[in-house]
Chain A
Amino acid sequence: MPYEETMTSKERVMNALAGLPVDRTPVSNPTNVATVELMDMVDAPFPDSCRDPELNAQLAATGYTELGYDSIQPYFTIIQESSALGCEMQWEQKDNWPTVRMSNPIWKSESDVKIPSNFLEHRDMVSVTGAIEILKKQFGDEVAIIGKSMGPWTLAYHVFGVETFLLMTIDDPAMTIRILDKLKEATYLFANAQIAAGADAVCIPDHATGDLVSGEYYKRFLQDIHTEMADEIAAPLILHICGRTLDRMPYIAQTGMASFHFDSRNDPQEAMDAVDGGIGLVGNINNPETLYSRGPEQVREEVYACLEAGVQMIAPECAIPLQTKLQNLLAIPDAVKDWSAERL
């Protein structure tokens, strides 16, 4: 007998984030699901849909209306704030991600760090807050709307350049901490603006990634900031960090954030063991191999591995490749529902 769904998508996601019971594990997308085919379906191609609230909302909604995920994520890139801060942008074409030209950073020292007074009015910020307002009106409490606000570590990469910023952490750790403290104000401003617009939860990507930064680095520079964010921002927070992150998961689990969006380079069971109930997990279906170039059966295997480990929300590990084929994206909710029918 098929199991019965008794919750709305929003209830399912919000309960999972709060550690409460769910009728089935939610399928979420803390860092978005946009593809070139979905762009064509609603005539909202990149980069225009990254810069226009209406187009943004139309494309973001397809994650729920077409794919059947339990949340909508209307911030596709990781560069909206950096554009508003004045970074040089490369907006690219429909089939590629907009990026910051980090070879030409805008700031050199601590004294340069200033958040513009009209930060939230910049068109690339309004494209997100405006989209959330539209989506909230359209869907009400039917589906969870997840905002996104870049953490100070990611912003520092963009405004100082990756190499310069990482050298700074070695040469002058005290100044690095002061810079992160200044930059975190941008995170607060944008997160709070999205909550005011109707976001139910906020993803905080802060790319202290496994291939660049150690777990001890995370503890030293970011754990306190993330703990403060969990206290200060009035919505459940989902931290996102790419790469192998098992070494920092015990620290992340102490921050008070609701969930950690983790990468496929971490085994789901090992990740669950590492956080030891201190924080929920969301992930971790592999993007470059499984979703991009394999088929629904391989997707299903990874979904089942996450569910067997007890991962609280199922999602691609990061923003999906823009050429991901639809059958693989549809296979995620299909697999969750099949597993639920078998086990519940």
Chain B
Amino acid sequence: MTSLELLSAREVVDRYGDCVELVPMDPNFHDISVGLYERDGISTVWTFSRKPGVEERMRDIVARLVTLGGMEITDTWNQLRFPCGHLHTRPLKFLTTAAIERTAERDRPEELQIQDSKSALMIDLTGEQVGDRYVYRVSTTGEARNPALRLRAIIAGFVRYGEMEKIDDTSVAFPCGQRHDGLARLILPYSRNISAVEDALEADAMRGQMTTSTLGFAST
């Protein structure tokens, strides 16, 4: 396929598989919805919108998935996969959101260091090949009451949002064992504060749900 076809809902699901991520409003292009559909390890960027310029916008999103997340384009312009062949479902959510909702000006492609949100510590992420897998090591610099406790919490964040495997109290690896600096960089800010991220994810999930609570028809 060289351009966006007009497809029915059924045709999209039959051809591209299940929608695994759906951004309801693209703030950088007419508030259109953009979905990431997945079949046999291939992710397809898709929208039903046919507003003028939409194909260029889809190409831009595909390019950002490559730049930010290290995905590679397959034979078809709007289809991608990770070189390792793994799906990386959870971090893909954060990657998709960043690729669509953020602009290039806010990207920090080289940064593997970030200020902790709960202490004065600076968090550093470094990686190295250890045996048959690539290991990411988290360290901190600066003053804090209990840096070891913060480190354990940050590692838990990587496990949760990156679906990474904990190796020890300071290091993690992706389940494929491969190097994914882009994904690790994206997960780093989320790993600092699980409770705040969970609150934000829950708020996102409740948006657009018609329930007795969201309609004000609840006692609490």
Binding site for B on A (CB under 8 A): 31, 36-41, 43, 45, 62, 66-68, 78, 93-97, 99-100, 102, 157, 162, 207, 209, 211-212, 242-243, 287-288, 292-293, 295-296, 318-323, 325-327, 329-330
Which of the listed residues A102, A212, A322 has the most CB atoms from chain B within 10 Å of its own CB?
Answer: A322
A131 to B209, CA, bound (A): 24
Cβ-based interface call for B10 (8 A): yes
- How close is B154's CB to chain A, nearest CB, in angstroms? 27
Residues of B within 8 A of A326 (CB): 9, 12-13, 19
Cβ-based interface call for B53 (8 A): no
Q: Residue A67 contacts which of B9, B49, B218, B219 (CB distance < 8 angstroms)?
A: B9
A96 to B35, CA, bound (A): 17
Cβ-based interface call for B18 (8 A): yes
- How close is B50's CB to chain A, nearest CB, in angstroms? 8
A130 to B114, CA, bound (A): 55
Does B49 contact A321, Cβ atoms closer than 8 Å? no
Residues of B within 8 A of A62 (CB): 9
State which residues 163-213 of B face A: CB under 8 Å.
205, 207-212
Chain A binder among B25-33, B131-139, B145-153: B25-33
Q: Residue A96 contacts which of B205, B207, B212 (CB distance < 8 angstroms)?
A: B207
Q: Residue B22 contacts which of A37, A96, A100, A319 (CB distance < 8 angstroms)?
A: A37
Does A94 contact B210, Cβ atoms closer than 8 Å? no
Residues of A within 8 A of B219 (CB): 211-212
Q: Residue B205 contacts which of A93, A211, A293 (CB distance < 8 angstroms)?
A: A293
Q: Across chains A and B, which 9 residue pairs bring their CB atoms closest together, nearest first?
A: A322-B208, A95-B24, A41-B48, A40-B49, A36-B33, A325-B19, A40-B48, A319-B210, A66-B9
A-B pair count, CB < 8 Å, reads: 116
Residues of B within 8 A of A330 (CB): 9-10, 13
A322 to B33, CA, bound (A): 11
B217: nearest residue on chain A (CB-CB)?
A: A207
Q: Residue B209 contacts which of A43, A67, A78, A321 (CB distance < 8 angstroms)?
A: A321
Residues of A within 8 A of B12 (CB): 326
B218: nearest residue on chain A (CB-CB)?
A: A211
Residues of B within 8 A of A102 (CB): 216
7 pairs across A/B with beta carbons < 8 Å? A36-B22, A39-B33, A212-B219, A323-B22, A325-B35, A329-B9, A330-B10
Binding site for A on B (CB under 8 A): 8-10, 12-13, 18-19, 22, 24-25, 31-33, 35, 47-51, 205, 207-212, 214-219
Does A36 contact B25, Cβ atoms closer than 8 Å? yes
Q: Residue B33 contacts which of A40, A67, A296, A320 (CB distance < 8 angstroms)?
A: A40
Residues of A within 8 A of B35 (CB): 37, 325
Task: Known contacts A40-B48, A41-B48; decide if A321 and B208 are in contact (CB<8 Å).
Answer: yes
A157: nearest residue on chain B (CB-CB)?
A: B217
Residues of B within 8 A of A38 (CB): 9, 48
A26 to B131, CA, bound (A): 58
Residues of A within 8 A of B13 (CB): 326-327, 330
Does B31 contact A288, Cβ atoms closer than 8 Å? no
Residues of A within 8 A of B9 (CB): 37-38, 41, 62, 66-67, 326, 329-330
- How close is A143's CB to chain B, nearest CB, in angstroms? 17
Residues of A within 8 A of B33 (CB): 36-37, 39-40
Q: Residue A97 contacts which of B48, B51, B215 (CB distance < 8 angstroms)?
A: B215
Q: A288-B205, A293-B205, A327-B18 are in contact. List 8 more A-B contacts (CB 8 A).
A: A36-B208, A40-B32, A40-B48, A67-B9, A68-B10, A207-B217, A318-B211, A326-B13
Does A99 contact B24, Cβ atoms closer than 8 Å? no
- How close is B35's CB to chain A, nearest CB, in angstroms? 7
B220: nearest residue on chain A (CB-CB)?
A: A211
Residues of B within 8 A of A93 (CB): 25, 31
Does B19 contact A162, Cβ atoms closer than 8 Å? no
Residues of A within 8 A of B8 (CB): 66
A188 to B163, CA, bound (A): 55
Does B217 contact A162, Cβ atoms closer than 8 Å? yes
Does B25 contact A296, Cβ atoms closer than 8 Å? no
A206 to B25, CA, bound (A): 31
Residues of B within 8 A of A39 (CB): 33
Residues of B within 8 A of A207 (CB): 212, 215, 217
